Structure 1
Amino acid sequence: MTSTETAPFSLRSIAVPAFGPALLFSFGEGAILPVVALSARDLGASVAVAALIVTLIGLGSWFFNLPASVITLRFGERWAIVGAAAASAIALVGAAMAPFAPHGLWLLAGSMVVVGMAASVFSLARQKYLTEAVPVVLRARALSSLGGVNRIGIFIGPFIGAAVMQFGGIPAAYWAGVVGMAAAAALSLTIPDLETPAADVDGAPVQAATMRSVAASHAGVFLTVGMGVLLLSALRASRQVVIPLWSEHLGLDATQASLIYGISGAIDMLVFYPAGKLMDRKGRQWVAIPSTLIMGTAMLLIPLSAGFVGLLLASLLIGFGNGISSGLNMTLGADFSPDNGRGQFLGIWRFLADAGSTGGPVLLSGVTALASLGAGVASTGVLGFAAAIVFAITIPRLKHRRNY
C-alpha cells in the first residue's frame, strides 16, 4: 500500500465543500427542468421548438465538455466551480426575465445553452477535484456519493419549484434556481485548494499534455471501456423518456405516471453509497455488469407490462439498477485518467458520456417511428446487455496504473 492509502482520511472532512455545492447546483437544475418547455410555449414556441429549447441544455453541456477541461486547467478546480455556478445563476436570471424581454424566446434559448455549458464546467471540475483530493481506496464511494447527491437535488428541485410557482408563476421556478446556483457559487468558495504535485522525481518540468496527445495515448481506453460508458449513458437517458411514454401508452393519467416516475427516482437515491463501497472493496465490475443487466432486463419487461402495477415493478427495477450505478462513469473516468492530462482526459470522457445521453432518446425515437413504441423500448434494453458485455470484457482486462 502507498502512503496515500494508509493516511487517515474521512469523506466527512470534505463533505460540505465537496458535496454541498453539487447538491445546491442540482437543486437549481431540478427546479427549472420541468418548466422550460412550458416557458417556451408561453412565449409562442411550437411544441417542436419547445422540445428543442429543452434539448439545448444537454447540447450545451455535450459540446462544451472539451472547452470545460481547458477552463478548469486554466483557472483551477475551485474557481471553475465558482464561475460555473455564478454563470448559471446569471443565465437563470435571464430566463426569469424572458417573458418581459422583446425577444423573450431567444433569451430563453440562450439562457438554456449557458446553463448547459456551465453544468459541463461545474461537473468536470468537481469530478477532477474529488479524483485528486480523495484517496484511491475511497474513490468510488466519493464519486458515487457525488452522483447520489446530484440525484437528490434533481429530485427535490421540482417540488420546491412547484411550491414557489404557487405564488409567483413560472418565473418563480427560475428564481428558485437562481438561489440554488448562487448558493452553490458561494459555498464553493470554501473548497480547499489542492496541493500542486511535484514536476517529477528528477525535478525536471513535465511536458504539458494536450487534448490531441491525450486522445492519442488513451485511444485504447476510449474505444473500449469508453464505449461501455457511452452505452450506459444512452440507457440512462432513455429510461427518463420511456416511463412517461409507456404510461401514456397504457392510458394511465398524469398523476399515476408521476407517481411511478417519483417512486423509481426515490429507489434510485437510496443505494448509491453501498454501491460505491462495493466498487471500492471488490472492484468496478461488481457494479458495472449487474447494473447494466438489471436496467436492460427492466427495459425489456416494460413492453410486457399491461397496467399500473406491472410498469411500477419494472420502473422500480430500473431505479435500483440506475441507483447502484451512481458515480460509475465518473469512477471509471477517474481510474483511467493520467496524472498529466487528467483534465483533458475527463473532458473527452464526459464528451463520450454525453454523446450517449443524446443518442439514447434518438434511438428510441427512430425505432419507434419505424416499428412501434414497444420495439423502441426493447431496443434501449439491448443497450444494457451490450454495455454489460463491454464492461465484462474491458474492465477486468485493462491494466490500471493503480490498484483499487
Structure 2
Amino acid sequence: MNQTEPLWTKDFVLLAFSNFFLFVGFQMLIPTLPLFVTERGGDQLAVGLVVSLFTVSALIVRPFAGKALDSVGRRPVLLVGLALFLLCVAGYYWMATVALVLGLRFVHGIGWGIATTTFGTIASDLIPAARRGEGMGYFGMFSSLAMALGPLVGLWLAQSFGFGWLFLISSVLTALAMLLSKPVKMAAPAGAGRRQPETKRSGLVEQKALFPSLLVLFLGVTYGGIVSFITLFGQEAGIGNVGLFFLFNALSLMLIRPVAGKLFDRKGHLWVLLPGGIVMAAGLLILSYSTTSFGLIAAAILFGSGFGAVQPSLQAWTIHRVSPERRGAANGTFFSAFDLGIGAGAMLLGAVAKAIGFALMYRCSVIVILLYLIIYLAYVIKERRRHSRLQPGSS
C-alpha cells in the first residue's frame, strides 16, 4: 500500500465539511434543548429524558443502519438519516408540550444514528487503507471543531434571538450538510449481488468489530459521566465557568487526532491506545481534585488528548479488521457500543455521585479506564504469544 495515496480528495473534503455542518447543528442543541424543555414546563426528569431518549433511539437504530449500508447502499441511507434529522430540528419549535418534544427527540435520535453511522462508513471507504488512522483523525477533527463552536453559537442564538432562530439556523446547517454530500462519490455496497447465508444476528452485528467496540464502550462510560455531570461537579467544587472544560477538551481533541492517526498508521494501535488510555486516566484524576479553573483546564487538555487519540484509532482499527462489505455493520456495532457506554455511564456514575459526591465519582471513573487498559494489554499479550507460536522454528 502506498503511503502517498491522496487523502484530501474532493470527495473527502466535501464529506468532512458535510459532517462538520451536521455536527454544528447538533451541538447547537445540546445546551439549549434542556432550556427549551424547561420553558415548555418540563422538570428535571424531562430534561434527563432529552438526553436518554435520544441516546436510546440512536443505539437501537445503528445496527440496522449498518446492515442497510452494506445491503442497500450508502447514499439512500444517508439521505434518510439527514432528512429525518432535518425534519426533527425544524419541528421542535412547533411542539407545544413537553411530551411532544420528547417524542420528536426520540425520532431525532434515529436520524442522528443513521446519519453518523453512514458518514463514518463513507469516510472509511474514501480514506486510503495505508492512511486510515490519519484520515479518521482528520475526519474526527472536523467533529471536534463543531463540538467547540456549536454550543457557544447555540447559546448565543437562543439567548439573543430566541429558539425560533436557533432551530432555523440548525435546520439550515443540516440542509447544507445534505447539499454538500450530494456530489460525493459513494461506493456501492461491496456485497451487492452476493447471496450469502447469514443469521439475523450476524447481519446486524459484526463480530470482528466486537473487541474494539468493547474498548470504546469503556470510553463511552467515562465520557457519559463528563457530559452529564461536569456542570454539577463545578457547582460542588466551586468552579465558576465549567464551559472552559468543553472548550479546551474540544481544542485538544481537534489538535491530537491527526497526530495520533499518523502514529497509528506508522507504528500500530499499541502506540496510541496504551498511552492514550493513561493520559485519559490522568485527566480524570486531576479533574476529581480540581477546585480552580486552572485545574479544570489541565484536566480538559489531558482527557481531550487521550480521548481524541484513542477513539478514532479504535474506529480505524475496527475498519482494518473487517472486509469492505461489512464496514457498515462494523461502524454500526462500534457506534452502538459507544452510545451504550454513554448511557450506562450517565446512569451508573450518576448513582455513584449520589452516594459519594461528584469528585469521588470521577476518581472512581478512573477504574473504568484501568479496566480498559487491563483488557487491552491482555489482548496484546495473547496476540503476541499466538503470533510467536505460529512463527517457524518457535517452540
1:248 and 2:235 correspond: yes
Describe the shift of the 1:7–1:269 C-alpha distance in structure 2 as closer, same or farther (beyond 3 A). closer
- Residue by residue, what CA displacement relative to the aligned partner does 1:314-359 show, whole Å, maximum 9, x if unpaired? 2221122222235133212212223343323332232222111111
Q: Is the Cα–Cα contact under 8 Å of residues 82 and 111 in structure 2 kept in the other structure?
A: yes
The farther-off stretch of 340-349 and 88-97 is 340-349
Deviation at 1:181, TM superposition (A): 0.9
Describe the shift of the 1:117–1:205 C-alpha distance in structure 2 as closer, same or farther (beyond 3 A). closer
Aligned equivalents of 1:156 and 1:328: distance in 2? 24
Structure 2 unpaired stretches of 5+:
385-395
For 1:285-324, list aligned pairs within 5 A. 285-324=270-309
For 1:216-235, list aligned pairs within 5 A. 218=207, 222=210, 224-235=211-222
Residue number in structure 1 paired with 2:250? 265
Aligned equivalents of 1:372 and 1:198: distance in 2? 51
Deviation at 1:276, TM superposition (A): 0.7
Aligned equivalents of 1:163 and 1:306: distance in 2? 27
Residue number in structure 1 paired with 2:268? 283
- Using the size of structure 2 for normalisation, the TM-score is 0.88
Aligned equivalents of 2:180 and 2:205: distance in 1? 37
Describe the shift of the 1:251–1:125 C-alpha distance in structure 2 as closer, same or farther (beyond 3 A). same
The farther-off stretch of 187-196 and 20-29 is 187-196
The farther-off stretch of 209-218 and 108-117 is 209-218
Deviation at 1:19, TM superposition (A): 0.6
Aligned equivalents of 1:263 and 1:11: distance in 2? 27
Aligned equivalents of 1:72 and 1:283: distance in 2? 28
Aligned equivalents of 1:340 and 1:174: distance in 2? 37
Describe the shift of the 1:163–1:226 C-alpha distance in structure 2 as closer, same or farther (beyond 3 A). closer
Describe the shift of the 1:349–1:161 C-alpha distance in structure 2 as closer, same or farther (beyond 3 A). closer
Residue number among 221, 226, 229 corresponding to 1:239 in the alignment: 226
Aligned equivalents of 1:335 and 1:164: distance in 2? 41
Residue number in structure 1 paired with 2:201? 212
Q: Is the Cα–Cα contact under 8 Å of residues 221 and 342 in structure 2 kept in the other structure?
A: yes
Residue number in structure 2 paired with 1:40? 37
Q: Which amino acid aligns with 2:342?
A: S
Aligned equivalents of 1:366 and 1:151: distance in 2? 29
Q: Which amino acid aligns with 1:270?
A: L
Aligned equivalents of 2:318 and 2:380: distance in 1? 12
- Residue by residue, what CA displacement relative to the aligned partner does 1:40-62 show, whole Å, maximum 9, x if unpaired? 11111111112212322212211
Q: Is the Cα–Cα contact under 8 Å of residues 213 and 333 in structure 2 kept in the other structure?
A: no
Residue number in structure 2 paired with 1:149? 142
Describe the shift of the 1:243–1:53 C-alpha distance in structure 2 as closer, same or farther (beyond 3 A). closer
Aligned equivalents of 1:217 and 1:97: distance in 2? 40
Residue number among 138, 151, 162 corresponding to 1:158 in the alignment: 151
Q: Secondary structure at the match of 1:341?
A: helix
Deviation at 1:115, TM superposition (A): 1.9
Aligned equivalents of 1:217 and 1:60: distance in 2? 20
Describe the shift of the 1:227–1:251 C-alpha distance in structure 2 as closer, same or farther (beyond 3 A). same
Residue number among 78, 82, 98 corresponding to 2:79 in the alignment: 82
Q: Which amino acid aligns with 2:171?
A: V
- Residue by residue, what CA displacement relative to the aligned partner does 1:194-233 show, whole Å, maximum 9, x if unpaired? 256588xxxx9451545423578827x52x4432121122
Residue number among 81, 106, 121 corresponding to 1:113 in the alignment: 106
Deviation at 1:71, TM superposition (A): 3.4
Residue number in structure 2 paired with 1:402? none
Deviation at 1:65, TM superposition (A): 1.1
- Using the size of structure 1 for normalisation, the TM-score is 0.87
The farther-off stretch of 114-123 and 7-16 is 7-16
1:67 and 2:64 correspond: yes
Aligned equivalents of 2:174 and 2:194: distance in 1? 38
Q: Is the Cα–Cα contact under 8 Å of residues 138 and 280 in structure 1 kept in the other structure?
A: yes
Describe the shift of the 1:377–1:85 C-alpha distance in structure 2 as closer, same or farther (beyond 3 A). same
Residue number among 51, 55, 58 corresponding to 1:58 in the alignment: 55
Residue number in structure 1 paired with 2:354? 369
The farther-off stretch of 149-158 and 270-279 is 149-158
Report the aligned-residue RMSD: 2.6
Aligned equivalents of 1:44 and 1:363: distance in 2? 27
Q: Which amino acid aligns with 1:235?
A: T
For 1:148-187, list aligned pairs within 5 A. 148-187=141-180
Q: Secondary structure at the match of 1:64?
A: helix
Aligned equivalents of 2:158 and 2:356: distance in 1? 40
Describe the shift of the 1:174–1:395 C-alpha distance in structure 2 as closer, same or farther (beyond 3 A). farther
1:91 and 2:88 correspond: yes
Residue number among 10, 20, 24 corresponding to 1:23 in the alignment: 20
Deviation at 1:26, TM superposition (A): 0.1
Q: Is the Cα–Cα contact under 8 Å of residues 23 and 147 in structure 2 kept in the other structure?
A: yes
Q: Is the Cα–Cα contact under 8 Å of residues 72 and 343 in structure 1 kept in the other structure?
A: yes
Aligned equivalents of 2:148 and 2:294: distance in 1? 22
- Residue by residue, what CA displacement relative to the aligned partner does 1:279-328 show, whole Å, maximum 9, x if unpaired? 11111221111111111122122232333322332222112222223513
Deviation at 1:158, TM superposition (A): 2.2
Describe the shift of the 1:64–1:217 C-alpha distance in structure 2 as closer, same or farther (beyond 3 A). closer
Deviation at 1:396, TM superposition (A): 6.9
Describe the shift of the 1:52–1:198 C-alpha distance in structure 2 as closer, same or farther (beyond 3 A). closer
Residue number in structure 1 paired with 2:391? none
Residue number among 182, 187, 190 corresponding to 1:189 in the alignment: 182
Aligned equivalents of 1:245 and 1:68: distance in 2? 35
Q: Is the Cα–Cα contact under 8 Å of residues 46 and 98 in structure 2 kept in the other structure?
A: no
Number of equivalenced pairs: 385
Aligned equivalents of 1:140 and 1:162: distance in 2? 34
Deviation at 1:368, TM superposition (A): 1.6
Q: Is the Cα–Cα contact under 8 Å of residues 272 and 324 in structure 1 kept in the other structure?
A: yes
Residue number in structure 1 paired with 2:7? 10
